[in-house]
Amino acid sequence: MSDYNPNNILVTGGAGFIGCNYVRYMLETDANVHIINLDALTYAGSLENLKDLPDENRHTFVQGDISDRALIDKLMRQYEIDTVVHFAAESHVDNSISGPEIFVKTNVMGTFTLLDAARQYWFAEKKWGKEDCRFHHISTDEVYGTLEATDPAFSETTPYAPNSPYSASKAGSDHLVRAYFHTYGLPVTTTNCSNNYGSYQHGEKFIPTVIRKCLEQEAIPVYGDGTNIRDWLYVTDHCSGIDAVVRKGELGEVYNIGGINEWKNIDICRLICKLMDELHPIAPQKVNGEAREATLGYEKLITFVTDRPGHDWRYAIDATKMNDKLNWQPAETFETGIRKTVAWYLENQSDRLSNG
């Protein structure tokens, strides 16, 4: 089968962290696409993330809810959508523990609404074949549960074992996508990604929190003993991986996109503190009228806090299928990606590190 080339892409959640990076990536790399960007602009999405786009003439923003079927139907027809790239999701695990209902509504029912609207428009109205359209669903490695130190990394055949309301809701949406392929023949692909980091990430997340706490010289909270392990994926690498799957992926298949970068949380904190010492050192303090350099850097701020309920210990992604089938691999190591990330936040700290 020849490569699929999208034209009019409905990007859901395109004002959020990964979504806005994908919008930028596509506008930069494909001069033929028009992006219709649907975002509810909850706390995690912001129009600030969409300033200074590469080609604003090929970007249309619409504020709205993915569960609003009438709106989805209207957008599909108005812009002749041939491709859906579905990022929109409630995604913060702590929030899913304190308020799980919105996670089920957005992640499960919202995905169902998009799938059914696409099926109606593409098949019943446009009479398109599977070669004419594409529905790509972005999921997470958290649907696979947790790993012990010696367990092999998650592969596309790892059984689902979600441990939080967030991951359970994402698992439910994954199963709906699979069902729409097998039941209706909807041309779908799915990617499960590891932890993303990079520019435009919301201040509540782990890496922006560490940077913010350094700047504020406040305690840097680290859950438990800091030995929880995550596989970190630079957001631009994630975007290139999604594009590869949309264009070249086999319909109905799942692809795991990972950064091949397993790090303990405590080691990430220490690396960020070291970079902050280099790029934004603590100002000298006056002692007896004389300026003295700080003898201790930002690492002194690291503080261990009570672990959260159901905290998965380790995630790791086996991205072999992406490499073997689609010739994709991440361009950034964690060391190169985190340096770019810290530098970006330092340049944009006034309005990018708020936790509100």
290-292/285-287 β-pairing: antiparallel
Q: Which distant-in-sequence residues (6+ apart) come within 8 Å of 44 by Cβ?
A: 16, 17, 91, 92, 202
Tell me if 282 sits within 8 A of 298, measured CB to CB.
Answer: yes
Q: Tokens standing for 8? A: 């009019």
Helix (H, G, I), strand (E, B) or coil at 163: coil
Q: What is the Cα 332 distance to its own chain's centre? A: 16
Q: Tokens standing for 106? A: 């957005």
How far is Cα 244 from Cα 305, in angstroms, rounded to an integer?
Answer: 40
Q: 3-state SS string over 202-243?
A: CCCCHHHHHHHHHHHCCCEEEECCCCCEEEEEEHHHHHHHHH
Biggest alpha carbon distance in the chain? 81
- Please say if 121 is a catalytic residue: no
How far is Cα 60 from Cα 8, in angstroms, rounded to an integer?
Answer: 11
Give one word for 11, left, alpha or beta, with left for phi > 0 and alpha for psi -120 to 50.
beta
Q: What is the Cα 218 distance to its own chain's centre? A: 27
CA distances from 156 to 3, 18, 133, 221 (A): 22, 21, 24, 33
- Please say if 345 is a catalytic residue: no
| Amino acid, res. 262 | E
Give 29-34's long-range contacts (Cβ < 8 A, gap of 24+): 29/243, 30/6, 31/55, 32/5, 32/7, 33/6, 33/7, 33/8, 33/9, 33/58, 34/7, 34/8, 34/9, 34/58, 34/59, 34/60, 34/79
Which backbone phi and psi does 329 adopt, to 5 degrees? -155, 155
Catalytic pick among 39, 142, 231, 237: 142
- Please say if 131 is a catalytic residue: no
Catalytic pick among 141, 231, 318, 332: 141
Q: What is the Cα 4 distance to its own chain's centre? A: 23
Catalytic pick among 144, 166, 180, 345: 166
Active site residue ranges: 141-142, 166
